[in-house]
Amino acid sequence: MKKRTIGIMGAMPEEIEGVVALLTNCTKLSMGKRTYFLGQINGIDTIVVFSRWGKVAAATTATTLIHEFKITELLFTGVAGAINADLKIGDIVLGKRLIQHDMDARPLMPQYEIPLLSQTYFESDTTDLGRAAKAINTVFENKSLHAVIGYKELMEFNITQPRLVIGDIASGDQFFSRTEQKQALNTQLPNVLCVEMEGAPVAQVCYEYEVPFIIMRTISDTADDKSHIDFPFFIKNISSKYAAEIIKNIYEQF
């Protein structure tokens, strides 16, 4: 049986700070302008890395984790902008399916289809998805976030009863900061819950190498004209603690 090694990626340095703090016997290795943090969480070998922004950066990092560190599973934690009107800041989306919203090779193939793979969506592993969902719901039910994030910070975004939603996540090399962007994506891909810049290419790499993956996104902004205000504050004050608390609980499910 192959030894279990989990790779954890975050697209912002702040998103991995709290996760790195969970590592025991932590060492660092620099490679390809990235720093990989190696250690164990709950006795499981784990590599944590800041992937950098965008599709190419994320795909490069995922490939390195698979080839150099021989990971057997991958978890991506990060933030996203809400596309679905029912989502609120502080909610968490687990990606059941991932799609690149800026992939368009028409007329050679349908819009959004990945060339040569005949795939439009990449689906996450059902077992890992269920495990992550259970961990997140446990955190929400126990109000664990209130113990690690200050009341003032939570109230800044009116985070009182965050929810878990499972569904489609879209990725592309764009930061959504205009209402018309959000409306256009919602029209083109009405099932998409949220938008970010890394999940779908990571899912594609994992699909090609047959590595199970989970893409977990905390809603940090509403992907509209207010995004540039909400996003930096959320990253600085909330997202790192959010990610660490949930990942700690995911490991307790193993």
Calpha distance 160→7 (Å, rounded): 31
- What does DSSP assign to residue 90? T
Residue 91's nearest CA partner among 16, 22, 167 is: 167
Query: What one-letter code names the amino acid at 4?
Result: R
Distance (Å, whole) CA 22 – CA 162: 23
User: Looking at 221, 224, 230, 245, which residue is catalytic?
Assistant: 221
Are 217 and 92 a contacting pair, CB within 8 Å? yes
Q: How far apart are CA 103 and CA 105, in angstroms?
A: 7
Task: Give the Cβ contact number of residue 45 at 10 Å.
Answer: 18
How far is 151 from 173, CA to CA, in rounded Å? 34
- Distance CA(62)–CA(203), nearest Å, equals 9
Catalytic residue among 15, 73, 198, 230: 15
> What tokens were used for 141?
């039910």
Respond yes or no: is residue 123 known to be catalytic: no
Q: DSSP secondary-structure letter at 25?
A: E
Amino acid identity of residue 63, one-letter, is T
Tell me whether residue 230 is one of the annotated catalytic residues: no
> For residues 199 and 76, is the Cβ–Cβ distance under 8 A?
yes
Residues linked to residue 169 through DSSP beta bridges, in sequence order: 98, 194
Residues serving a catalytic function are: 15, 221
